[in-house]
Structure 1
Amino acid sequence: MNELLLGLLTFFTSTIAGVVGIGGGMMLIAILPAFLPLNALIPVHGLTQMSSNFSRAVFGYKDVQYETIPKFLIGSIAGIALFASILSMISLEYVPLFIGVYILLSLWSQKFNDKIKKYENYYLVGFLQTGLSIVVGATGPLTMTLLLKDYKDKDKVVATGAALMSITHILKVFVFMYFGFVFFDYIGIIVAMIIGAVAGSYAGTKLRDKIDGKKFLMLLKVLLTILAIKVIIGVFL
């Protein structure tokens, strides 16, 4: 019964991510504690999100901006290697706060964007997003914030974001396997969620065509803003 319910919930969250490019993963990680023990939460979520993002990138392969991938991949490998090796030594309590503030300033402050432009690139975003993803749930908006500045076409933003997030989740899954997490213990739930994730990606890709480009970009900015505020509030609660 849990498998069926989680499959349907994953379909719903993956459809939202397929339309807007973000938000589905954060909704899903908020739901999962009701179904999974804490030690399984991030590994199972990571594997499901890998399926959701990879399938979304495949369905939108014509719109993926492939020039971003090598830079992001190099940054991601460096990030995950560093954060996995020092995980037990660092306090990450306030990292979500900095991520949330960065997203808000990036979206709404032209002065901030003018100053940060020379430092902001896919190597750095890959390093931070993938490295921090093994401990912080809200790293996806980092990529989407940068893509939103570089590309104005909604399909390019969503498909490329999905391709880059796939890299983050694939590397994260390998880290959890290295640390000994046994995915097979949750095979029924994982299969149901992967089916829901892929079906949701397909549905979301089809529904995205129905949204006007300008409305889409404003919707994405509003959703990113809500997620950033939620992350900031979460640090203090």
Structure 2
Amino acid sequence: MAFGPALIAVLAGSVLVTSFLSGIFGMAGGMILLGVLLLVLDVAPAMVLFGTTQMASNGWRAFLWRRFVQWPIFAGYLIGSVAAFALMKVIAFVPDKATIYLGLGLLPFLADMLPHSLRLDITRRGAPVYCGAIIMVLQLLAGAAGNVLDIFFQNSTLDRKTIVATKAATQMVAHLLRVAYFGSFAHLMDESLPWWIYVGAVLTAFAGTSMAAFVLHRMSDAGFRRWSRIIIRSVSLTYVARGLWLLVTGSPT
């Protein structure tokens, strides 16, 4: 693929804006970035670039807010995600774009339909372990599951800074595993990316994440939760429509 000025500008702008959103809301930006990357790249290269960018963004965000990280939640999440990753490596499945878009769009609504007894709350006993396993499987089967992870945290009583910090720590590891998984398939795609694309994406992600810290400081917990839900629902509906369009038209892109 030829990376002309227009495409580079689109990629850089997308990474900057979505890193800024993720820096405020924790995960919403990642949903948008993956959708943009899938418009211009094949699944495996898009996943590797997405994972690299998000790993950098989440790692920097976790560092900036490190004193708010709930490390017991992180430890449980790590156990569950690594176990699920090992299982998925045996299955070795790469989803198509229609599956990814539909998964991104439908998962938040399905999570909301769960009965209260199965309420997804990251602070419940054992929840971080099965949350890590569920999110990892969904990330590899449906492309991303940040919107479902948002449900686990939005249903808790944690404040906005603790939510953003702890989610960032867990997702830094999750995206590292994503890169390892899809990177093993990327060589099968006739679409390699130059090294400077990754370097530029990482630096841009750092910039967007740093700018977001100023906004998060000034936002209330109520505003944080309200806008998180609005953005997630809006993006989810858009992706459902996109996935259905790909299925109806039979288009691979």
Q: TM-score range by the shorter chain?
A: 0.7 to 0.9
**Structure 2 unmatched ranges of 5 or more:** 246-253
Q: Aligned partners of 1:215, 1:103: CA distance in 2, in Å?
A: 22
Matched, 1:60 2:61: no
Query: Alpha carbons of 1:89 and 1:8: their partners in 2 closer, same or farther (altered >3 Å)?
Result: closer
Q: Are the equivalent residues in 2 in contact too, given 1:47–1:169 (CA < 8 A)?
A: yes
Aligned residue number for residue 192 of structure 1: 200
Matches within 5 A, 1:46-195: 46-88=51-93, 93=99, 96=103, 99-105=107-113, 112-116=115-119, 121-179=127-185, 181=187, 185-195=193-203
Q: Aligned partners of 1:24, 1:155: CA distance in 2, in Å?
A: 17
Question: 1:4, CA displacement in angstroms?
Answer: 5.0
Question: 1:151, CA displacement in angstroms?
Answer: 3.2
Aligned residue number for residue 251 of structure 2: none
The correspondence for 1:208, drawn from 208, 212, 216, is 216
Query: Alpha carbons of 1:186 and 1:235: their partners in 2 closer, same or farther (altered >3 Å)?
Result: same
Aligned residue number for residue 228 of structure 2: 220
Aligned residue number for residue 249 of structure 2: none
Q: Are the equivalent residues in 2 in contact too, given 1:132–1:139 (CA < 8 A)?
A: yes
Q: Aligned partners of 2:25, 2:108: CA distance in 1, in Å?
A: 19
Q: Are the equivalent residues in 1 in contact too, given 2:25–2:224 (CA < 8 A)?
A: yes
Q: Aligned partners of 1:35, 1:90: CA distance in 2, in Å?
A: 16
Partner amino acid, structure 2, of 1:176: F
Aligned residue number for residue 16 of structure 1: 21
Q: How many equivalent pairs are there?
A: 232
Partner amino acid, structure 2, of 1:113: H
Matches within 5 A, 1:8-47: 8-47=13-52
The RMSD of aligned alpha carbons is 3.0
Q: Aligned partners of 1:230, 1:195: CA distance in 2, in Å?
A: 28
Greater RCO, 1 or 2 (C-alpha within 8 Å, sep 6+): 1
Question: 1:218, CA displacement in angstroms?
Answer: 1.4
Q: Are the equivalent residues in 2 in contact too, given 1:73–1:167 (CA < 8 A)?
A: yes
Question: 1:60, CA displacement in angstroms?
Answer: 0.9
Q: Are the equivalent residues in 2 in contact too, given 1:54–1:163 (CA < 8 A)?
A: yes
Q: Are the equivalent residues in 2 in contact too, given 1:3–1:192 (CA < 8 A)?
A: no
Q: Are the equivalent residues in 1 in contact too, given 2:108–2:151 (CA < 8 A)?
A: no
Q: Aligned partners of 1:89, 1:207: CA distance in 2, in Å?
A: 37
State TM-score, norm by structure 1. 0.83
Identity of aligned residues (%): 22
**Structure 1 unmatched ranges of 5 or more:** 107-111
Q: Aligned partners of 1:35, 1:89: CA distance in 2, in Å?
A: 17
The SS at the match of 2:27 is coil
Question: 1:185, CA displacement in angstroms?
Answer: 4.1
